[in-house]
Structure 1
Amino acid sequence: MIGAIIVVYNPDLALAERLLTRVYNQTEHVVIVDNSPKAHDFSKVIEHYEYMHFPANLGIAAAHNHGLRYLLSIGCEYGLLLDQDSQITTDFVFRLSSLMMASKSLKQDIAAIGPSISCSFTNKTERSLIQREVFEYEELVGVTQIIASGMLIDLGFLDQIGFKDEKLFIDGVDHEWCWRARDMGLQIAKAKKIEMVHRLGDSRSKFIGVTYKVGSPIRLYYQFRNILLLSRRSYVPLYWKVRCLGLIPVRFFLNSTMQQNRLDRIRYMLYGLVDGLKGISGSYATNRR
């Protein structure tokens, strides 16, 4: 059985409902984990679903874990993670799960497979300039990490890998889980011919001809802090540590001079750096009460 976990937070209802309609027709079970302050009713678009509401916002890692534990409890073999603003085709789950089952029959030990990502801002397929490909086999390419949305997980490996790291709260959660799986000898793969439209960041800006992602001010706290937290871990790839640590001054400059809400951005970045150096994890709301 395949179950889907859709995490929502103050969602654009039109986008979320379109996604739910697509997912409902392709999976046996749908779990909606709602981190919004106000509850939402999706019964007008899908008939049967498990709804979990956490108005205090537990973060993406905890939301995934609640959904994954539920899927395990009802006997699902695979779990599909999706964000509220992702867009999938009518055969998305079938194609992705077919690749997973084929790889399992070949005993390839693939813990998760994700699609190629087309950014809704640029309408271009995202390609990493530095992430190395681990292997290539027909329609799959082995990679070091994939994003959470669109990730199909073989739930049988969760006992070995563990669940998502809730201490990170949001940024880096998907990559950390992939790195941990690879450190245990398992593989993470991307489907070369399956594409999913997804919104990466809140907007885009350009500086001296280079386009970069822009997120909300509070996300900077988690991004800066989690870079420092993850850089201490031995299984995190060296290229990621060098790249992210090296870009901290650049990102600090861009967010403190080139964006709106500059004072808020500076405050969140500084808090993130301080808490990261101190090894403080969890939610901003808890740490900065």
Structure 2
Amino acid sequence: MRESVAIVVVLYKAEMSVYHERLLEDEMVTLVVVDNTPDRDLALKKDRLIYVPLQRNMGIATAQNEGIRQAECLGCDYIIFFDQDSKIPERYSEGIIEEYKRIEQLIPNLFLLGPTIINGRTEEEYKSTIHKDIWMTEDFIRRREIISSGSCVSLRKIEEVGLNDDSLFIDYVDHEWCWRAESKGFVNGITLKIKLAHFVGQQEYRIFNQLVIISAPIRYYYQTRNYLWLLRRSYVPRQWKINHGIKLMIYPISFPFKVRCWRAIYVQMFRGLKDGLLNKRYGKSRSGSGIV
């Protein structure tokens, strides 16, 4: 008997796509759509579709947690997460679940399993120039952190690790979850057998062979603030603290020469710096709203 699967998609000022609707062709799948768009209720009604309008932007962490709670109520075995703009290949959910079960037999403490992420702009695989791949099986590479889009996890393991950290709102939510899982003895990683195209940020360029991804200005508030918060947590890898701190100091130097909205980014970084140092917990930046 096949296991039941909940697929959680978070919307923000976007509609359901044909890729999301196609997921319902699998009778073992329930699609949970959590809507972060302020003052909106799409009143979506379909078999095996649960629509949760939050009526305001609560952040990706809270929205995904709501999806997890819905999956728990349904008694699902696995959860798959997708971004609103994910272009999902046919039979993806079946494939990633089969991979999860196969790898879990070899690595029982598997927590999050992600696909191999392909850059939607260049069609090249995203690879770190700093971290070396750690092969644990022929097709499974252990990763310190993976992005949530396309990832799969067993619901019973979430009970041990806990939900996403709502206070982070958006940036590093998936990273923190991976690190917390590792601190509890779990392993995260990607499978080479499943691929997913993903668009990260609004622009990208390279400095000294390092890929610089430019996001909307509001995201730099959360990146700066959350980095300062995560510095204080013992389970966050020291290497990430050092490397990311260097990036936050060095990369912005290039913004005036590469990025049109560099002034707005600097303003958001300053506000994030102030709130991160003072440990102020705003649900979102006072000067901006939401996920872009």
* TM-score of the two chains, using structure 1 as the length reference: 0.90
Matches within 5 A, 1:31-180: 31-39=32-40, 41=42, 43=44, 47-106=47-106, 108-180=108-180
Could you tell me whether the CA contact under 8 Å between 2:218 and 2:285 is conserved in 1?
A: no
Offset of residue 253 of structure 1: 2.0
Distance 1:270 1:5, change over 3 A: same
Distance 1:22 1:239, change over 3 A: farther
Offset of residue 233 of structure 1: 1.2
Could you tell me whether the CA contact under 8 Å between 1:22 and 1:89 is conserved in 2?
A: no
Could you tell me whether the CA contact under 8 Å between 1:170 and 1:222 is conserved in 2?
A: yes
Distance 1:174 1:20, change over 3 A: same
Could you tell me whether the CA contact under 8 Å between 1:135 and 1:143 is conserved in 2?
A: no
Could you tell me whether the CA contact under 8 Å between 1:256 and 1:265 is conserved in 2?
A: no
Residue in structure 1 matched with residue 234 of structure 2 by the alignment: 234
> Using the alignment, how far apart are the partners of 1:163 and 1:72 within structure 2?
12
Distance 1:227 1:156, change over 3 A: same
Question: What is the one-letter code of the residue matched to 2:89?
Answer: T
Residue in structure 2 matched with residue 3 of structure 1 by the alignment: 6
User: Residue 124 of structure 1: SS of its match in structure 2?
Assistant: coil
> Using the alignment, how far apart are the partners of 1:288 and 1:37 within structure 2?
13
Residue in structure 2 matched with residue 271 of structure 1 by the alignment: 271
User: Residue 108 of structure 1: SS of its match in structure 2?
Assistant: coil
Could you tell me whether the CA contact under 8 Å between 1:255 and 1:266 is conserved in 2?
A: no
Greater CA deviation, 58-67 or 197-206? Answer: 197-206
* TM-score of the two chains, using structure 2 as the length reference: 0.89
Distance 1:265 1:278, change over 3 A: same
Question: What is the one-letter code of the residue matched to 1:260?
Answer: R
> Using the alignment, how far apart are the partners of 1:111 and 1:214 within structure 2?
29
Deviations 1:91-140 (A, max 9, x none): 21112111211233446211111001011122111012223444421321
Deviations 1:199-225 (A, max 9, x none): 111222456886521111100100111
Question: What is the one-letter code of the residue matched to 2:36?
Answer: N
Distance 1:208 1:189, change over 3 A: closer
Residue in structure 2 matched with residue 30 of structure 1 by the alignment: 31
Question: What is the one-letter code of the residue matched to 1:97?
Answer: I
> Using the alignment, how far apart are the partners of 2:249 and 2:71 within structure 1?
42
Deviations 1:135-168 (A, max 9, x none): 4213212211110101101110112100000010
Q: How many aligned positions are there?
A: 285
Distance 1:166 1:177, change over 3 A: same
RMSD: 2.4
Deviations 1:181-239 (A, max 9, x none): 01110111201121001111122245688652111110010011111111221111122
Matches within 5 A, 1:244-283: 244-256=244-256, 258-283=258-283
Question: What is the one-letter code of the residue matched to 1:244?
Answer: H
Could you tell me whether the CA contact under 8 Å between 2:34 and 2:51 is conserved in 1?
A: yes
Distance 1:287 1:232, change over 3 A: farther
Distance 1:200 1:185, change over 3 A: same
Offset of residue 269 of structure 1: 0.6
The unaligned stretches of length 5 or more in structure 1 are: none
Question: What is the one-letter code of the residue matched to 1:122?
Answer: T
Distance 1:287 1:217, change over 3 A: closer
